[in-house]
Structure 1
Amino acid sequence: MKSTRKYMMNTSRLVKVGSKILQGQFPELIFRGREALEKIAERRKAASGAYNFSREKLEDLIKDKELLKTGLAANFRNRKTPRFFFNTERIEWMEKIPEFFPAECERSLKAAEEILRDRYPVFGDEPMDFGSPPNWFLDPSTGKSSKPEFYDDIPYLYRDSVGDAKVVWELSRLKFIYPLGQAYILTGVDRYALKAFGILEDWFRRNPPRQGINWCSSLECAFRIYALIWTIELFRNIELLDDRFAELVWYYVYHLADHINSHLSFYFSPHTHLTGEAFGLFLAGLFFPELNRSEDFMTRGLEILEKELANQFTEEGAHTELSICYHRYSLDFYMHTILLAEINNIPLPSIFREKTEQMAEYLHKLRRPDGLWPQLGDSDGGKLVWLEFDDARDCTASLSNAALLFNRKEFNPGHARFESAWIFGISACREHNHKREKCEQLVSEHIRDAGYAVLRTEDQNSYLLFDCGRFGSKEAAHSHADALSFELILGGEPVFIDPGTYCYTKDKGMRNYFRSGAAHNICLVDGRGSADEENIFDWQYYADAEVQNVILARYFDFINAGFARRKAPGFQHERAVYRVADDYFIVLNRVIKGIDSVSKFLFHTPFSSHSFSPGQNQIILESSRKRVILKPLSEIDYRFSAESGRQDPPSGWYSRDYLELDKITTLVIEPVHSGNLEIPFCIVPCNKQSSGPEFQHLGSGSWSIRTDDFSDYWKFSSEGKSAFLRKDENSRVTMLFLAQDGTIEIAGLKYWESNITAGLYGYIEDCVLFLEGEISGKCRLLTDNFARVRYRGNEYEVVTSGRYVEFEI
């Protein structure tokens, strides 16, 4: 078995090397060659026991040999620098934390009690049992355990050999330190400290440098360094932090940093892996100045972090991998770097603050009305520090820190979070909470560089996120096949959602389901979407979406985008999304495909109840407090079906956190129609007692949608010349929209005539017609309720001609 897996690993490496040679990527080959030589040397040292801890070996790593005589622990307690978050005024504000955060303190204490019973927080709400003492090489979710051999011999991506390495690594991020340290600070009870030190000493003993799966990832070494810093700061004054323990910490931090420095991810996953590793080098250099090469570690770490600000982030602050989880990692890496540098008077180039603030702005723009974030791309369920046990889909703690760091109340309009209290202190949190400044409301926005559009209702309760851009970074390892997919929140309640990630290596079938088109709100043609997955992090094929037109206004939003799939089955998909005031959304699809190809539209919903109405050609969704109508505005026939918790092939699954798996409903709408398609879906929220609006087909792609408050008219055509007109209860025009053509005609009556080139939107308010889009020349509108026109900051006079109001731009 061992020889087989080594053969597989070596064959894979040879194939990759051959590919690099053919592509002329010689700098990478040189780097990897040097790294291979380094691993040969490491293997020899590991085999000889050269990495095993001893005071003599530590002495070789310390600048001032006298420190080992006077005591590392005493030196640590007495030194004035470097400073951590709570070096000063520690007792004063830590004693007040329970007063401000009683529920969060209880949750941390509960987690600490679980750890005392050898149940460790890993993902979600349910802790895992790794044994007592923990088996540091075990994945409890599969029962697989790797051997403590030389790290480069371990096939950590092979489930049959190690289980899911992510689960193993999560324990060895030493995240148990955070609740145990909090519990000790909050109660003063020694048993939390005894448990923390006992577990850490066991980790040191069973994970010597370069041995075992926990040395396979340089990024994991960086997380470990930070956890050890929090350990010595949270337990700074306890007797357990004696010279013997301090020597172990300093020794392992050196080897963790040295390992990172020798195996930086410049070419393998050169994104959050690289910035996280650079952050680890910065930490090791800053907080362990007694070690040899500490200045080199810190300098190199900051140099890489600065360089990657230009390499990994768009002009709008989005992380290149287009994953919310990995964007949050990046934001936290940089915020903690800035905070610790400023606390210790280390000057940083201005780009650190400028770009990091943009990262926070980007995350802020994607916040859903329910206070969570969309599960864009992969999510591994992790975060930088575990000071707060929040939902994996909730990034508020990071934005709470950003609000305090950048003095931007709008990043977190609510109260400062528990995590912020441990980093900034109670006084800063209290000041934030007492700010009375009015925060600007989030509005609809097209985030061009990232390829997302967010459509928000004016009441802030509904939200549609539209994926309308590039697939992801060059390797796209953490991308999903979600081009033209969308998430929809109505009245603060999720209606159509992205099902998430679930796992990486535990279950290849489920891994590839969750990142495939089948797990997104898209159109599949012959079972295919915009991308085809391969293995667990690679792609055989993917297509980028491209935006064509955008209008984002106060009462109406419109954006359309499309992609062309060149690989079989070749097809083109164009999707336009519309927001109409606070009333409803429309998702318009145009699919150009082979005449015999089968199309299916997927809608993934957490709603507990659904019913099909074949006579009305619609689906009614119901939750405990809401009803939603999903209505195709097309007269062709459909097959409606629903799937939940299907195993083979997978369908109807949802994962709110890594390894968390729940059933949801996947609605499948299959048009009974050959050839090309044009299908608008109208999605209308209504209360439980309402039957919803009245839909009427007016012929030739025209529809009316009526309620007591408005009458809307839509015209959809195969050339993309959609048009919209709204009348109020008095039959006066209040809104209009045209995608291309210059005429809106209803029942043979022309309501609007003009010359436009790239979309037009208008609304009437206070006797003024406000226009947006591209328009010129003479225009006229069949109504009498406006006296002026405002367009691009200019006002235009109008004249009345019969039943029309006319003007010229």
Structure 2
Amino acid sequence: MTGKIKKILRMSPAEIRFRAWEQIRIRYEKQNARRELETVEKPDFNFFVKTCDFELYTGADPTGLWRKEGFARRLCEPLTEERKQAFINNYPERYSLALKRADAFMENRFAFLGVAFTLPDPIPWQKDPLSLNPYPDGFYRDIDIFTNKNAGDIKHVWEVNRLQYLIELTKAAWLSGERKYAEKFESLLTDWIRTNPYKRGVAWASALEVGVRVSALVWALAFYRACPFHRPDVLRAMLKLIYLSGAYLYENLSIYFSPYNHLIGEAAGLFLAGYLFPGFRDADKWANRAWDVLCDQVEKQFHADGGSVEQASFYHHFTLGFYLQTIQVKRLNGQEVPARVMERVRRAIEFSACLTKPDGDMPHLGDIDDARSIYFGDPTHWDFSAWRAIGAAWYGRGAFKYGLKQLPEEAYWLLSNPDQENYARLKAIPPDQNALLLKESGYAFFRNGFGEDAHFCMMDCGPIAHGVFHDDTPSAAHGHADELAIELSAFGESFLVDPGFSNYRGDFDWHCYFRSTAAHNTVEINGQSQAKQGGILQWSRAPRFKQLEFVDHESAKAFCGEHYGYQQQPGAPVHRRYLLFVDNLFWVVADYIYPAKGKGEQTDFKEHFHFNAGLKTAIEEGKQSIVCQGDKATLSIHTLSQTPSPLHFRFTEGADGADGGWISPTYRAVRPAPLVSMAYQAVPPLCVVKVLYPQKKGQTGPEFQKENQQLMFGDYTVIMEEASGDVRVEAGGKHFRICHDGKDGYIHLND
């Protein structure tokens, strides 16, 4: 049975009816596309409600529309001279950067999604910006957006057509008073409208792109209208484009096609088009439909613990940003937001705070897209502190504000004046949980504090992503095959990292590698990934998993979990991992691998250690150790093993191929980084234990001595018992014991 048939059999009757009706609608839409385009392009095309004066729109001064009651609602606080000067005075570096980036756009210079390029003038909107090869023209539904046979990576041409940089041009025009930025904006916008007719071409081929573009247009319109030199024809063109985008989105919501960040981005765009402009025809219908989707979906997009069901940290913030923006618009206009929506969004912000490492970065979990749902400039980075700042203002949570030196720019534009006053009065306090298990998302976090020099580690034991099946049914998803992977920072410096993600289109080997088990800090068995990859983004045979134990003790914090991703392998080996954080000082990782069926067979194992870029890494093979030096600290990894064969270490950094030692923190931003793989052969059951000991630069640490299956350092001894593989950690009168007996592993403290 093919994967496509399996997917059809899994569809609900409602989904089958929806998809069947959609095909009928699309066929009719295509037949009438030319007539529809001719209608909307007529100068007298009236897209206003009867109570709204169309003559104001066509007249010499369309700004009169905003003075008419019932035409528009507030997007943000008024962009007054006082607000402008406050930004220039309080954010001098952001102001300088805004003008610098606007100057680049003046010359058609762009840099995003791992590429930089300069486009000719006028911009070839429907060509790949790197090769300038054209994309197919014609009816938007006829364009295949999933093929690798297109002109290039479709993400690049879409990013140009999202028009988010128009916000930066109009913002620069308003802040600086320089007309040149407004003129460039006018030129780009009018040319885009002329060369991208409604529902034709690659710019209309994805509803998410249209949704993101609406957000860009409403903010660009706000800054442009605040300028003293706006043109009436440009205001009219913007309003019409926002209206047409809303009409398109209402017809094309990805209810079943892509019911995660795509659907939320589309619904947010539809909401902004309808809610902000009640004077548009069908605006109330759009706003109500969009808001219903957003409210209905909030508990489907975020687990009860706040993590995104897509299991991808960048997409977590992409989806969350759409909620933050639409909720703020509601609040700004004096309307209530359901308590359950506010509660789930609060938890999603808490999840963001949990992910934040001491250096301000985050684990690069799952697929990565540079896209920002809240955009005011310079999008390619992992700073989502504005999301926490908004949460601090809304919920009065001092822990959300902790570590933020200033209200981030995105929050400055988005939050109301009372919200900003609440934020200013709020006292920042450190979070109170150094150990936390998020069961639904599947992440355990351990810290020794929340300062810039703190230790941080996390371990993954959860779903690959919502919607991925345990059998051969293929599904697209943004999660990775990263069960039991760990991430670790010592003294505020990131050492073991998730390498991130490479690309969606082209370089398929790199696409697959960064999503595979080998690209994560976990154990690979017989050279296979924990889940089965198909085409681009496709997964099947998602591994089942079990969270066995979580311990939060004064002397040790610990988590134990296992997964069953290798049930197709001989003996069905199960990987169980224990992570101990001892005395807030060092870590013990014990990997116990046992056969679920019958006796174990000779098996190849390979454990991967992906280090952050710029770290100096060396292997001391005779000692079965890895030593990694950073700017602030050193991390040494010492191994005790039950394996009858010797451990074979392999170091690589920036070598040929995707597995040659690379990380990609943002889209297509690959850079060399140390990778150490530790390979061995054994017949399960077996246990391999690592002690990960950090040492601050300039300080003398303990000497490590190894005898048989004992590792001694300072006041500590780690002992692995030969027969059972059980592990003891001893320190003075304290004893921690990791036991493998029975179906579930467990951890004894002071045993």
Tell me which structure has the larger Cα radius of gyration: 1
State the superposition RMSD in angstroms.
2.7
Alignment of 1:253-652 (within 5 A): 253-389=242-378, 392-413=381-402, 414=404, 415-424=406-415, 429=420, 432-433=423-424, 435-458=426-449, 460=451, 461-475=454-468, 477-564=477-564, 565-568=566-569, 570-592=572-594, 595-606=601-612, 607-634=614-641, 636=643, 637-648=646-657, 650-652=659-661
Partner of 1:770: none
- Contact kept, 8 Å, 2:398 with 2:427, in 1: the verdict is no
Secondary structure in 2 matching 1:139: coil
1:90 to 80, 90, 95: 80
The letter of the residue matching 2:537 is: F
- Contact kept, 8 Å, 2:353 with 2:388, in 1: the verdict is yes
The letter of the residue matching 1:679 is: V
- Contact kept, 8 Å, 1:521 with 1:601, in 2: the verdict is yes
Larger relative contact order (Cα-Cα within 8 Å, sequence gap ≥ 6): 2
2:94 to 72, 89, 104: 104
Structure 1 position 17, deviation (Å): 6.9
- Contact kept, 8 Å, 1:373 with 1:395, in 2: the verdict is no
Structure 1 position 392, deviation (Å): 2.5
Distance 2:602 2:293 in 1: 53
Structure 1 position 562, deviation (Å): 0.7
Alignment of 1:156-305 (within 5 A): 156-238=145-227, 241-305=230-294
- Contact kept, 8 Å, 2:174 with 2:227, in 1: the verdict is no
Partner of 1:775: none
Secondary structure in 1 matching 2:149: helix
**Structure-2 change in CA distance of 1:139 and 1:582 (3 Å):** farther
Distance 1:368 1:437 in 2: 17
- Contact kept, 8 Å, 1:638 with 1:669, in 2: the verdict is yes
Gaps of 5+ in 2: 469-475
- Contact kept, 8 Å, 2:501 with 2:667, in 1: the verdict is yes
Structure 1 position 508, deviation (Å): 1.2
Distance 2:76 2:658 in 1: 52
Structure 1 position 229, deviation (Å): 0.8
Partner of 2:472: none
**Structure-2 change in CA distance of 1:351 and 1:160 (3 Å):** same
Structure 1 position 759, deviation (Å): 3.6
Structure 1 position 605, deviation (Å): 0.7
Moved more, 245-254 or 714-723: 714-723
**Structure-2 change in CA distance of 1:15 and 1:67 (3 Å):** farther
- TM-score normalised per structure 2: 0.90
Secondary structure in 1 matching 2:351: helix
**Structure-2 change in CA distance of 1:741 and 1:450 (3 Å):** closer
Distance 2:189 2:29 in 1: 24
The letter of the residue matching 2:749 is: Y
Distance 1:642 1:740 in 2: 32
**Percent of residue pairs bearing the same amino acid type:** 24
- Contact kept, 8 Å, 1:316 with 1:359, in 2: the verdict is yes
**Structure-2 change in CA distance of 1:463 and 1:36 (3 Å):** same
- Contact kept, 8 Å, 1:470 with 1:546, in 2: the verdict is no
Partner of 1:730: none
Partner of 1:26: 13
1:724 to 720, 729, 743: 729
Secondary structure in 2 matching 1:278: helix
Alpha-carbon displacement from aligned partner over 1:697-722 (angstroms, at most 9, x marks no partner) = 454x4x24322xx2334445675643
Structure whose residues are more often strand by fraction = 1
**Structure-2 change in CA distance of 1:315 and 1:71 (3 Å):** farther
Q: How many residues align?
A: 726
Distance 1:381 1:391 in 2: 5
Gaps of 5+ in 1: 1-13, 728-732, 743-755, 763-780, 782-809
Distance 2:605 2:133 in 1: 41
2:28 to 41, 52, 55: 41
Structure 1 position 463, deviation (Å): 0.8
- Contact kept, 8 Å, 1:466 with 1:485, in 2: the verdict is yes
- TM-score normalised per structure 1: 0.84
Alpha-carbon displacement from aligned partner over 1:776-796 (angstroms, at most 9, x marks no partner) = xxxxx8xxxxxxxxxxxxxxx
The letter of the residue matching 1:712 is: T
**Structure-2 change in CA distance of 1:49 and 1:261 (3 Å):** closer
Moved more, 308-317 or 140-149: 140-149
**Structure-2 change in CA distance of 1:296 and 1:491 (3 Å):** same
Distance 2:119 2:224 in 1: 24
Secondary structure in 1 matching 2:37: coil
Partner of 2:471: none
Distance 2:722 2:380 in 1: 44
Structure 1 position 431, deviation (Å): 5.9
